[in-house]
Chain A
């Protein structure tokens, strides 16, 4: 991948190509977890500079990996991840994107269940304000013969302003029988009933909104090794766009 991609490439359809050109080519970070081993990492893009990361994770049989992503802060931030799961491997992704102003944030994942009995779960939460655009493209591929696959995606985006944009595309490509794949995808605004409930107890609207968004974004980091630090960094980014 040396040539800069074009918008015809689905994985770059919503990318800020001008910003990406300055960062191209992206070195691929190669993470390999041997059979039966476990690993975890977190990628936090919350600096002022544009940033893009490309990660490839290969899990051996029975290996487990926990990846957390926080994409917030820069004018353009992109994280792409390709995961290949061995037999009985387990992968969990928890990702949060927070963007305001004119920011563009995107996370692109491809999870390949190459062998039987692997489990993947992905939780992606986006909060978008101003004229920001947030994209999540999540593809799950179940290879021929990868029976007993369990793949799950929960994708939710919250729009703070009508001028913000969320692109969310879960995609399943299944070539095997006897698999369990589920995805939920929702783009919306904060629940008015909940906001009224909190207001009726005395919380001013701005605080009620903040409390609910904090809870929403925190879902991405539940159970992470660095749950507290990640949540704190995310809440800081959130307060900056509110």
Chain B
């Protein structure tokens, strides 16, 4: 589904990704772990197309389509969802309003009929329920006044509504208390653990992986993947640290 080959990227002319290769097939959940500054968030932003993250080499395709030929909104329509480590607050714009426009823009891009107001609200309510989030919160301005945990749950609700093929979730577990971590983990499983979908979890800790069991774990260090393994690799990292395991 997602095929990354020898990806190199710079931020403010500084090389961050230095030849990263990774293949994620449909139905798989991958986790990328690694020390601070390894390039984990850069990977997410580069795939999402954030301005300022420049691809200087390598390729990335989603179901054969060259991601780097697409604008950020076209990548979203192609099925790529990026869960933000720090979701942005947008005063005056409600979740419901912008998500309906976003969902319909994506559907239009794929040649599908738009959702009516009623259909959209029904869908939003269902996904909010999955994340135990009150529907009223989605009528509020995007992330404004939300706690860290609420922002992350709202990210997962958006993922549920937009129904992507692949979700790249950047430290979805940071800032969550134990209950919210479980709710988010269960949400990810309910929405994304399907034969035709895939997930790339970017995380520092094993704890999210207790709820969302990865099929593969990779260690990212110095801008490339230095070690790959099964779920046991995450436990090994937790016990011995990145330096010992990735050495």
Give the complex CA separation of A212 and B142 in angstroms.
11
B91: chain A residues within 8 A (beta carbon): 215, 219
Chain A positions 149-206 with a Cβ under 8 Å from a chain B Cβ: 191-194, 196-205
- A124 contacts B by Cβ under 8 Å: no
Instruction: State whether the Cβ of A48 lies closer than 8 Å to any Cβ in chain B.
Output: no
Q: Quick one: given A194-B90, A197-B88, are A203 and B101 in contact (CB under 8 Å)?
A: yes
Q: Are the C-beta atoms of A202 and B105 separated by less than 8 Å?
A: yes
Q: State which of B7-15, B55-63, B70-78, B118-126 sits at the interface with chain A.
A: B70-78
Closest to B83 in A: A200
Given contacts A207-B105, A211-B98, contact A199 B93 (CB under 8 A): no
Q: Is the CB of A199 within 8 A of B87?
A: no
* A203 and B73 contact, CB distance less than 8 A: yes
Contact of A203 among B88, B92, B98, B141 (CB under 8 A): B98
* B93 contacts A211, C-beta separation under 8 Å: yes
Q: Is B180 an interface residue when CB atoms closer than 8 A count as contact?
A: no
Chain B residues contacting A197 (CB-CB under 8 Å) are 84, 87-88, 90, 142
B90:A202 contact, CB within 8 angstroms: no
| A 207-223 contacts with B by CB, 8 A | 207-208, 211-212, 214-216, 218-219
> For residue A204, which residues in chain B have a CB less than 8 angstroms away from its CB?
71, 73, 105
B158 at the interface (CB under 8 A from A): yes
Complex alpha-carbon distance, A171 and B220, angstroms: 54
Question: Which residues on A sit within 8 Å (CB–CB) of B76?
Answer: 199-202
Q: How far is the CA of A212 from the CA of B169 in the complex (A)?
A: 25
> Which of chain A's residues have a CB closer than 8 A to the CB of B162?
201-202
Say how far B61's CB is from chain A's closest CB, in angstroms: 18
**Whose C-beta in chain A lies nearest to the C-beta of B53?**
A196
Complex Cα–Cα for A199 and B49 (A) = 9
Which positions 75-104 of chain B face chain A at CB distance < 8 Å? 75-77, 81-82, 84, 87-88, 90-93, 97-99, 101-103
Tell me the smallest distance from the CB of A125 to a CB of chain B, in Å.
11
Taking a contact as CB atoms under 8 Å apart, the answer to whether A207 and B92 are in contact is no
Q: Which residues of B contact A219 (CB under 8 A)?
A: 91-92
Chain A residues near B99: list those with CB within 8 A.
201
B142 contacts across to A, CB distance below 8 A: 197
Any A CB within 8 A of the CB of B51: yes
B92 touches A205 (CB 8 A): no
A205-B71, A215-B91 are contacts. A198–B102 as well, Cβ < 8 Å?
Answer: yes
Nearest CB of chain B from residue A85's CB, rounded to whole Å: 29
* Most chain B beta-carbon contacts within 10 A, residue among A193, A196, A215: A196
Residues of B within 8 A of A193 (CB): 88
The verdict on B145 contacting chain A, using a C-beta distance below 8 Å, is no
Residues of B within 8 A of A207 (CB): 101, 105
Contact pattern, B 134-157, Cβ under 8 Å of A = 1, otherwise 0: 000000011000000000000000
Give B205 Cβ to nearest chain A Cβ, in Å: 24
Among B75, B91, B158, chain A packs the most CB atoms within 10 A around the CB of B91
**What CA separation (Å) do A199 and B45 show in the bound complex?**
12
Closest residue of chain B to A217 (Cβ to Cβ) is B92
Which B residues lie within 8 Å of A215 (CB)?
90-93, 141
| Nearest-neighbor residue (CB-CB) of B52 within chain A | A192
The answer on a CB contact under 8 Å between A202 and B77 is yes
Most buried by A among B73, B106, B158: B73
A interface residues (Cβ-Cβ under 8 A, vs B): 191-194, 196-205, 207-208, 211-212, 214-216, 218-219
Given contacts A198-B98, A201-B99, A202-B162, 15 further A-B contacts (CB under 8 A): A193-B88, A194-B88, A196-B50, A196-B51, A196-B72, A197-B88, A197-B90, A198-B90, A200-B76, A201-B158, A207-B105, A211-B93, A211-B97, A215-B92, A219-B92
Mind listing 23 A-B residue pairs with CB under 8 Å?
Answer: A191-B88, A194-B90, A196-B50, A197-B87, A199-B71, A200-B75, A201-B76, A201-B99, A201-B102, A201-B162, A202-B73, A202-B102, A202-B103, A203-B101, A203-B102, A204-B71, A205-B71, A207-B101, A212-B93, A214-B93, A215-B92, A215-B93, A218-B92
